[in-house]
Amino acid sequence: MIIMEINLEKLSDVEKLNLINIIWASIEDKDNSLPVDDAHIQILMERTKTVGKTISWETASEKIKDLFK
């Protein structure tokens, strides 16, 4: 295993988000070996109820940007 030291204070917010995306994409759960507790299952069930009722990330991002104008 390679452990890297990254000074998060030196990264921009965009670089931090890119790092999160890279790490997230690298996680595989082929055999469902990641632990999931009851609270997490409840959240996942709630999310499936909202499919199609949410706005896209692009729309949300624009709304957030508008707040800071």
Does residue 47 contact residue 55 with C-beta atoms inside 8 Å? Answer: no
**pLDDT of 31 over the 70 cut:** no
Tokens of 18: 């890119």
pLDDT recorded at residue 53: 74
- Domain extent listing, the chain: 36-69
List the end-to-end C-alpha distance of the chain, in Å, as a whole number.
Answer: 44
Does residue 20 contact residue 6 with C-beta atoms inside 8 Å? Answer: no
pTM: 0.42
Does residue 19 contact residue 6 with C-beta atoms inside 8 Å? Answer: yes
pLDDT recorded at residue 8: 93
Share of the chain above pLDDT 90, in %: 20
pLDDT recorded at residue 11: 94
The predicted-structure confidence for 38-54, as pLDDT tens digits, reads as follows 888 888 788 777 767 77
Q: How many CB atoms lie within 10 A of CB 26?
A: 7
